[in-house]
Amino acid sequence: MDDMIKRLNKLSTFIRLKVDSVISRHCLLCLKTGQPSPICKSCLEDFPLTENGCETCGQQLHHPSDNIQICGRCLSKPPAYIKSVSAFDYKFPVSSIIRRLKYQECGYWAKPLAQAIYPEFKQAFGHLHNAVLMPVPMHESQYFIRRDNHAHLIAKHLAKYAGLPLQNEVVMKSRHTPRQAELSARMRRRNVKNSFSLTDRPPVSPIIIIDDVVTTGSTIDAMARQLTKGGATEIYGFSVARRSLE
Ligand SMILES: [Zn+2]
Ligand SMILES: [Zn+2]
């Protein structure tokens, strides 16, 4: 009986919070009420956009010029994808939202984040009317630590905004890899090499791989290489944020 009362109390709190958020429609960041979207316009204007990126991998060009817009790495070793685009720079408040989504199981951030990145997605890939969205998969062992795959959550909502199909059963993460964050560019590439495998034939339509944060692009490249082996010919990458390698 006690258990039942506890559960009912929990449920009523949940419903009250839901109703509150629908009625007041407050911005999730500044808590200003009467907002039509979960992140208000003025908070969204503070989101740091990416600048001076390589036209292929999106990495920041330290010496951009009018005629060279591709980084040395992409010129010498072109990636398996055509182009990777990030909506924002990995700086506050984007960095803090991603950390919450990733490590504090705040799944409710996925939808507002997808809504915030959709304009950049549309600008970069709006012309690909038959594209398929494919989130970077997690290794099964990671599900014990993080309940949800955050890339999948973001891709799921982004697919709805874009009106494109989501395909998350073609590629699996077959090998667990240590976190990329502490690794150098070379180690990152080595770390993720051959860590993905195919469980099905990739679609013939263009594929847009979705991830939360891109640093060197090695994860998207490793996944794109596997998809290319399976016959995919047109692969792109899109992420919420670009983090520069220190
Ligand atoms: Zn706001
Ligand atoms: Zn590049």
Which ligand does the CA of 69 lie closest to?
2
State residue 22's pLDDT score: 56
Q: Where are the domains of the chain?
A: 1-46, 47-242
Q: Which of 119, 109, 245, 114 is nearest to 188 (CA)?
A: 245
Q: How far is the CA of 76 from the centre of ligand 2 (A)?
A: 10
CA distance 24 to 37: 11
Q: How far is the CA of 41 from the centre of ligand 1 (A)?
A: 7
Cα–Cα–Cα angle for 64, 70, 71, rounded to 5 degrees: 80
Give 107 or 112, the one with higher predicted confidence.
112
State residue 66's pLDDT score: 66
Q: How far is the CA of 31 from the centre of ligand 1 (A)?
A: 6
Radius of gyration of the chain (CA): 19
pLDDT tens per residue across span 64-83: 676 778 998 899 999 999 99
State residue 223's pLDDT score: 96
Average pLDDT of the residues in 134-141:
86
CA distance 133 to 79: 19
Output the pTM of the full model.
Answer: 0.86
Phi, psi of 26 (to 5 degrees): -90, 155
Which ligand does the CA of 55 lie closest to?
2
The percentage of the chain sitting over the pLDDT mark of 70, rounded to a whole number, equals: 85
Q: How far is the CA of 61 from the centre of ligand 1 (A)?
A: 31
Is 3.90.1720 the CATH classification of the domain at 47-242? no
pLDDT tens per residue across span 149-171: 889 999 999 999 999 999 998 99
Give 50 or 188, the one with higher predicted confidence.
50
Written as one letter, the residue type at 145 is I
Q: Do residues 90 and 117 touch, judged by C-beta distance below 8 A? A: no
Q: Do residues 203 and 231 touch, judged by C-beta distance below 8 A? A: no
Q: How far is the CA of 164 from the centre of ligand 2 (A)?
A: 27
